């Protein structure tokens, strides 16, 4: 019986979607880019500043940031964008709460 739907061969791997990660300067630096449990200020701001500084010199910064925005990555620093940076770009500024 012929393959009428064209499914005899599985689709090829889509490595091209992820190849940019091979050139990322942050490879192996998860502790710098993702917050540890219970992290508070000022440690969080210092860690994020160090991570974004590394991102500034990264050759795939644009691809990384685009991935994080497209996938709505909830955690970490991606392409020089912190969690709050991405949230603001995707959803706008958080409303100010009056007490």
DSSP string across the chain: ---TTS-SSPPPP-GGGTGGGGG-TTTT-HHHHSPPTT--TTHHHHHHHHHHHHHHT-TTHHHHHHHHHHHT--SS-BTTB-HHHHHHHHH-PPPPPP-
- Higher pLDDT: 36 or 12? It is 36
Write down the pTM of the prediction. 0.76
pLDDT surpasses 50 at 96: yes
């Amino acid at each position: 019986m012929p393959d009428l739907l064209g499914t005899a061969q599985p689709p090829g791997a889509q490595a091209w979607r992820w190849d940019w990660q091979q050139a990322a300067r942050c490879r192996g630096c998860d502790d710098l880019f993702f917050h540890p449990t219970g992290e508070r200020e000022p440690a969080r701001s210092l860690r994020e500043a160090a991570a974004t500084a590394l991102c500034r010199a990264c050759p795939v910064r644009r691809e990384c940031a685009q991935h994080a925005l497209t996938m709505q990555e909830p955690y970490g620093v991606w392409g020089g964008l912190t969690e709050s940076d991405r949230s603001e770009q995707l959803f706008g500024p958080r409303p100010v709460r009056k007490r």
